[in-house]
Structure 1
Amino acid sequence: MAFRFQRRIKIAPGIRLNVSKRGVGLSAGPRGATMSVGRRGVYGNVGVPGTGLSFREKLNKTQKGGTGGRKGAQGEQGNINISIDDDGLVTLLYPTGEPLSTRETAAVRKRAGGAIRAFMEEVCERRNEMLRSITTFHHRIPKPTDKPEYIPSLFKVQEPTPSLFAKVWALIFPPFRRKLNRDHADWRSAKAAHDQGEQERKALEETLVFSDITAMERVLETYLGGIEWPKEPAIDFDLGEDNTTLALDIQFPDEDEMPDKEWSVPATQYKLSPKTVSATKRRQIYRDYIHSVMMRVAGEIFAHLPTVEHVLISGYRETINSSNGHAEDQYIISVIMHRDQWASVDFERLRQIDPTEVFTGHLLNRSMKKTGIFKGITPFSPSDLEESSMGSGHHKLS
C-alpha cells in the first residue's frame, strides 16, 4: 500500500471567529471594541484582545440612541463612537477620532448611559465567552458513518417581487421595466448557479466520495474550512492511494496566544476590569484546546469520508531554536486512530468526555504533564500509519 503525500492542502488560511447572539460565524474584526450611537440606533463592534474574535450588532433594538454630538453640515447630529481598548478603557470619540471633552462625555453618558453600559456588558460577555468556548470544539463532533448524509443548503436570497406601483410604473417607463427584468434575471442566474452547486455537492458527498480521491479532498476541505476556528489555522492533509488512510497535520498557536484575562463591569465605573488568569489555568486551557480541536478534526474525517479507516493526526507549533534563533516546527502530539476504535465513543455524552483522555485508547505519542506543559516529540510517519493499518506493528512511545 503506497502513500502519495506529494502535495499538501492548506485549509482555511486567515479565518477568524465571529461571535454574535445567534451563534458563531466567520469574519475579520477590529482590535478593541467600538460602539456607534446615532440616529439609527446603537451599533457595536467588538474584538477580543489577542484572539481575532469579533462581532457587530445593533444593541438598542427598541429605542433610539441619543448622541449629544456635534451637528453636521446640514444640522443633523453626528455619531458618537464608544471605544473600549484592549485594557478595558472606555473612551467617547467623534467619528474623526477626536475624544469628547469632559462636559460632552458627561452629556452623552446622561442621554445614552443605558446603551453604553449595555455595550460594555456585551463586550465583557464576548471576551469571557472565548475562555468558555475555546475548549469545547469536541461538543459538536458528528457521529462516524459509512453512509454520509447530504444536507441541502437553501438559497436564501428572496425572489424580487415588484409592488403594484412598480408594475404600473414599469408599464409606462421602459428603463424601469428593463431594470426590473435585469434584477429578476440576475436572481434566476444566481439561483441556478446555487442549485447547480448543490447538485455537484450532493454527488460529491453521496457518490464520488467513495471512490474519487479528488472528491474526498474537496469534501474534507469544505467541512474543515467550515469549522469556527478561534485562531487562524493551517491544516495540511493527504490521502493514501487506496482511499482508506489519511495523514493530517494541524498547526496550533503557541500557549502565549491563548486568552489570559477574565473581564467584569464595575457597578459605577465606565471601564472593564480585567483579571489575569493564572499561568496554571492558562496552560490547562491550552491543553484542553489542543485535544478538543484534535477530536473535532478526527470526527469530521470519520463522518464525511466513509472509506477512510485509519488516520494519523499530528499537532505542532512554531518555536524559536535557542541555539540559532531560527523558527522551527515543534510537534507536541501525534496519534494514529482507527475507525472501529473511534466509533466506540459515546457521541451522546460528548460534554462528559475529557478530551485529554480520549486518545489514550489509540496509538498515541505525547509528552505532556497534567498541568498542560508539552515537550517536543517525533511524530508518527506515514510508514507508521501504514504499518498500524495492517495490524503488524507496535511503537514505543516517548
Structure 2
Amino acid sequence: MRFRRRIRIAPGIGLNLSGSGVGLSFGPRGASVSVGPKGVWGNASIPGSGLYQRKKLSGRQTPGFGSAKVSRRELEAELLERFYSSGPRLTAPLDGGSIDLVDSEGASLTFEVQEVAWKHLRNELLDQLASQCEAISADIHSLATLHRTTPSSVPSLEYVRKPFDLQEPSPPELENYHWLWKVLPWHRRKVDAANDAGVEAYQAVHRGWLDARSAHDRKALERQSYFRKRDSGDSAGIEDFLGWHLTGLQWPQDTSVDLALSPEGSRLCLDVDFPEIEDLPHGVPEVAVRARELRVKPFSESAKRKLYAAHVHAVMFRLVGEAFHAAPTLGEVVASGYSQRPDKATGTIRDEYLISVVVERSGWQEIDFSRLDLVDPVDALARFPLRRKMTKTGIFSAIEPYT
C-alpha cells in the first residue's frame, strides 16, 4: 500500500462471479393447479395485468367403479399445487452441475414434486434457465466494456437533490353503515371491524413511507455535505469526496483502490488492486437439456487472458474518467494497477504492478465520450505516458509504477 487512504468499491452490478449458482423465480404468484372433470389444468396469470393463461396438464382418467384410490391425475395436481405454493426457484451452480428446484427458503423440493414439475413445465423451466444463462454470459463479456459508462470530464459532477418518487399512500375510504341495518349491533360491529382493519393497515404503510422519506432526506444531506467538502477547495475535503464518490460506483466485483491527493488538489494518485486472472469466470454457462444440467463452455487460455487484459484496462480507464468528472480541480491523474503473484525467487506472494499511466486532463478531454463503444481502453491509455509490458495475447510482466 503506497498511499495512506484505501477505499473499497463493492459489487453493484448483477454479475455474480462467486460460483454459488443461478437462481430464478417461477410461478409463485398468479399460479395454481385445478382438477376438474376434463383433467388437470395449470392456471397462470400476471397479477395486475389482466393476462391469463390456462394449460391442460393431463387428460381425464376415470377410476374403476367403487375404487377408493387417488387417481394419478389428482396426485399430480396435488404435487403441482405444492410446487406452486412453495415459492419455487430453479438453481444451478455456475461452475456446472445438476439443476435443482428449491423452495423460497432454498431447500430442495422433494423428488416427487420435482419430477411432476419437470413433466408438465419442462419447456418453461428450461426457457427461463436459458434466459438466465444468456444474461450471465452478457455480464461476463461486459467485463471488457466497463469503460463504456465512463462520464465525460465536462461538465463536472454537481450536486442535484434527487426527488423522493415514492407516492404517499392515501387513507382508506371508510365504509358507512347501511341505512337499513345501521341500528343492528352485529352490522355496526362488522363495519367497525372492517374500518379499523383498513385504518390499521394504512397506518402501517404510512409509517413505512415516512421512514423511507426520512432515509432519503438523510442520504441527500450526506451527499450534499460531501459536495460542500469538495467545493471548499481543501485538499482533504476533495480527497474525502473522491473516496466517497468512487465507493458508490456500480462495479462487477470487490475492488480496493488506494488514493492520495497532492496538497494543492491538482494531482491524484490511484493504486488499483486488480482481480487475479483466476478470479475471472472460466467460461460461459449453457444448458444441457437432456441431462437437466448446467455446463460451462470453457474459455481458451488465450481468450481468458485477452478478457483479463481488456478488463483491467477498462477498470483503469473508468477510474481515471470518474476522477476527472468528480473533481474539477484535478489536472493530472497517475493511475497504477497491480496484482498478487508468487515471487519466483522465494515463492512468497507479492504485489506486481502491471500498468501505470499518467493522464493529463487536456489530453483526456480529446476523447469523444459519446462514442465510447468505439474506444479501446488498451489503445486509449497508450496515448499517455504509459508503463506496460504486455504481449498481444494478454500476458503481463511486472513494471515499475510511476510515483
Is TM (by shorter chain) over 0.5?
A: yes
What does 1:266-305 correspond to in 2, within 5 Å? 266=288, 270-305=292-327
CA distance, structure 1, for counterparts of residue 84 and residue 26 of structure 2: 13
Worse-superposed segment, 307-316 or 33-42: 33-42
Q: CA deviation at 1:271?
A: 2.9
- The answer to whether residue 14 in structure 2 is matched with residue 9 in structure 1 is no
- Determine the structure 2 residue equivalent to 1:120: 129
Residues 206 and 28 (structure 1 numbering): CA distance in 2 closer, same or farther, change over 3 Å?
A: farther
What does 1:324-339 correspond to in 2, within 5 Å? 324-339=346-361
For 1:109-132, what per-residue CA distance to the aligned partner results, in whole angstroms no more than 9, with x for missing partners? 222223211222122112311332
Residue correspondences, number: 351
Q: Which has the larger radius of gyration?
A: 2
Q: CA deviation at 1:317?
A: 0.9
Q: Are the aligned partners of 1:233 and 1:252 in contact in 2 as well (CA < 8 Å)?
A: yes
Amino acid at match of 1:224: L
Ranked by relative contact order (alpha carbons within 8 Å, sequence separation 6 or more), the top structure is: 2
Worse-superposed segment, 296-305 or 318-327: 318-327
For 1:156-181, what per-residue CA distance to the aligned partner results, in whole angstroms no more than 9, with x for missing partners? 433232211399969986x9878866
- Determine the structure 1 residue equivalent to 2:141: 132
For 1:290-339, what per-residue CA distance to the aligned partner results, in whole angstroms no more than 9, with x for missing partners? 11111111110111100011111110111122433322111111111111
Amino acid at match of 2:361: R
Worse-superposed segment, 244-253 or 191-200: 191-200
- The answer to whether residue 111 in structure 2 is matched with residue 89 in structure 1 is no
CA distance, structure 2, for counterparts of residue 201 and residue 137 of structure 1: 25
Equivalent of 1:226, from 228, 245, 248?
Answer: 248
Could you tell me the TM-score, scaled by structure 2's length? 0.73
CA distance, structure 2, for counterparts of residue 329 and residue 287 of structure 1: 17
Q: CA deviation at 1:260?
A: 2.3
Q: Are the aligned partners of 1:130 and 1:259 in contact in 2 as well (CA < 8 Å)?
A: no
- Determine the structure 1 residue equivalent to 2:331: 309
**Paired residue secondary structure (2:174):** helix
- Determine the structure 1 residue equivalent to 2:260: 238
What does 1:322-361 correspond to in 2, within 5 Å? 322-361=344-383
**Paired residue secondary structure (2:370):** coil
Instruction: Structure 1 unaligned segments of length 5 or more: list them.
Output: 20-26, 43-58, 382-398
Equivalent of 1:165, from 168, 171, 174?
Answer: 174
Q: Are the aligned partners of 1:91 and 1:99 in contact in 2 as well (CA < 8 Å)?
A: no
CA distance, structure 2, for counterparts of residue 64 and residue 36 of structure 1: 19
For 1:62-101, what per-residue CA distance to the aligned partner results, in whole angstroms no more than 9, with x for missing partners? 66999959769x9995455533223443434454845644
Amino acid at match of 2:133: C
CA distance, structure 1, for counterparts of residue 213 and residue 114 of structure 2: 50
Q: CA deviation at 1:147?
A: 4.4
- Indicate the percent of aligned positions where both proteins have the same amino acid: 27
CA distance, structure 2, for counterparts of residue 148 and residue 361 of structure 1: 25
Q: Are the aligned partners of 2:229 and 2:241 in contact in 1 as well (CA < 8 Å)?
A: no
CA distance, structure 2, for counterparts of residue 169 and residue 364 of structure 1: 76
Instruction: Structure 2 unaligned segments of length 5 or more: list them.
Output: 32-43, 58-74, 177-190
CA distance, structure 2, for counterparts of residue 266 and residue 180 of structure 1: 49
Q: CA deviation at 1:267?
A: 6.0
Residues 88 and 37 (structure 1 numbering): CA distance in 2 closer, same or farther, change over 3 Å?
A: same
Amino acid at match of 2:29: R
Worse-superposed segment, 291-300 or 63-72: 63-72
Amino acid at match of 1:11: R
